[in-house]
Structure 1
């Protein structure tokens, strides 16, 4: 214990000695300590200058060099902060702004498709504009730029909603290739992207929480390459054409119109040219009408309408409508359906003397039957109700003729559709040209058609008849090109009056049945041949009938193997059971079509379902494509209103055959008073005419159709088919004028028949006459 206590006592002594030493040092360093010896030792607290030893005692540390220098030189060492040289401010960073070029197009109303014609929009101050927008622009800046570019947007109510349009378009080739492309459209206030494929549907355009920015538009429009459409949501914009000095046209370059002398923007220059020309035509027509009214003393002040009866059909019409009706009456001009006309009128005309009949025909039919038009004082607009008369006519043939005429008359002033076929090529190349022409989508097939044969000098309506005859022949009998079905490709299979569409998947995927519908409708509109021998069950479903109510026969089954299998159910005795060998093919066919196997109680039901599946179920997609093609040619409107007209568009084989009596009734034979200086004697003309009459009476259907096609251009007989006997080496024809020229050097019928058959068989390779 003493050892332990001794160190403690030593430490306390050392500590007291140190304290005494520090007290002495403090007294000598502080002058106040001498003055107040009794005061307690205190030191002002300064950082780094004090230390504590024990309780209530403070030891002062000596000043540092920095503190001494600060006290000696206060101007240089002010406070505790170092005096540093002031740095110059850094220059502000300049940010470069890039401008993006966008193509906008303002539409007039909310639409789910891109516009077809932008000319009307451009005249109203809307349409397409090129706008430069900064790459960092937000929704507000973009809106401000668009309001400056389109002043009509300033008063628009209801807002906009950007959307984009996307579509896919595919054009399969005549044989095997498919061409597809995608095009996207964006718009402001519906923002669309439009390419060259026409109209496309729209979907919403993505946006962020702050609206639409320049980066979003840049991404959506493919760096400004695609057009951006602006579509109002709730309110429509007026599309009345603006004057050419409107603010919307200030930035457009202008030029002077030579017709009216007005400064017109370059983009609108074609529009005033058409307007000026149409105004001149209207003024000239109005002047002519006034002159005619003054010459004939016509007065429009009378409120009484006088009705006159048509001498042909007996219906009553006003004096203004009568000329129009006379030009469209089915019996007032030659038609290409002589077999559907009234038999009594044909026989009466044929029973008249030859001179009287010719005189009546020359008096009644003064114009070319294919170019008859209404009188100059009455137009289609003056009698619009006449275009709906086909809905009230009882017979199905006359509505078809009148509907065709009204439809073509509405489009007669539009640019024609042009097709060229090189007859010097082989038949497969010619077929490829036909298929390529009718596979072009989004075409107005009611426009006039202009056909031309490359390698032949023939022109006119005869070439058009030859084209339709060739196209319909391919539909009826098949094409020569091969798509995997062997030698040739048939679009329809089966026997006469029971043809059904081919079940080939390649033909279906190539949209060849859409092409078939276009060909059928286009040929009907231009008075061409019809597709004959189609099964009544197919026509029933095509017109919208239920497959359950369609009348199906065993002849409608085109596949021979399937027909023989189903035939076993049709001809078998219902009282006797089938053997296992007989049931095997029937059950195999039923199970392949997901039908139950044959039982005694379900025999009739299975027969009906096998027929329906073989004829209708396997061809329903082909029928759907046919209906689409008919809709594109405006023929579906006629079939919907008048289903009975289907017998004209899809006739039976007996109606499509060339009748001998009908052909003889439409022939104009040479007359005695027509003999000229260079023509053979009348006796020679009678002999050659007799040879032709005998040939018509004895020839089969194939030879008759070849003769009619060689004569007029297609297989349908036409009225006023004229015969001329001339000095020539071989028979020739002018199909445009329906004239057959026969040489006069024949002395025997056999020589005449042999030479004529060899000539009419060459109608597929050209004409040779203009």
Structure 2
């Protein structure tokens, strides 16, 4: 063989140019990536979240996240990336699956994305999402995740852009800030920090001042707040309200020295009873020739959409009502009939019965659609234009509409709208050193994180009252309050 093939068996050094050895082929993973939209849900469901529940999921650290993952990523790598973006997923020990939504709009039905033999991988997810066009929903199978709002400095919000609230100075993500500014009721530390007229709510204008009630012979003077005189109108107000009043006092008209001197006297002389209050509200109705026209049917009177769509006039104008199929001209009787039916329908539709009156329904859908704002406008129009008064509200709801703040120190069990909380409050009030420890788990579920003992009973009761169903309705009342004021 050596003689026949000398070139293969010759040990002589190779002649000519020396060739480089070809390098060993190293198998590397593909560098291609895919960017997908993941949406974390709170529990096992077959429907996409509603628009009203998306904000609650966002505040709880869930909701939508955009994640970039390698196409070669396996199930373990995908799980690690999802957990890094949704830390609450790590607390779920009952497993999870990925779902996708069917076509259409609004709340849609979810269909499961079946995993392959070795679980999910990047290339498979890119294929089933139709070229990164669909959102992938993460659905816990056996756990119901907590949806209580997280603090602004939580890990879930670290990568989100943030801004500070002008009222309380808290720094929080922009998505959270949008909801926070609607409920923040703390007063600014100085008049330069926050402008009530040019701030975050341009539609809200302070058009009437609520005068603190004078003490009666049966009222203890020790319960009255500290009073101070306004430097503009010289009327005494509580110290915690004086700054709000002073920021708007004298803005609407040019004050003269004689006008300021007579301000306190005229207020005491004119506002003596409820009839004077109603007359003052009626005088505030704009009479510039424009009318707020409403055309409705007597069979379907409770419709808020037409009221909300009015652009040429505002509810401060004279209300003019036309009933379909009725040739009558509104000289006041039709307006009163319309307002009577609207107020009665509002009480049944948007307020639920309580022990001492009605409280607003807990409906995020109505809140998002601005229905409670419209309810406030209708209530104010009814008071100002001869309609009935909404005299069915609970005391805390009425005080909140008048003052704009919730008096947490005077809440009791009757103000709590949840029977579960009411029963728990009764148990805590009657608890002893031994029985209060039995209620530890239920108290912790209410959000209390302090020491549970008999000495802390008052603190526990106050927190349970403020974190109960009452505070969930506070935004609804505030939305009604923004339109329940008249210039």
- Report the TM range for the smaller structure's normalisation: 0.3 to 0.5
TM-score normalised to structure 2 length? 0.41
TM-score, L = length of structure 1: 0.27
Q: Which has the higher contact order (CA 8 A, sep 6+)?
A: 2
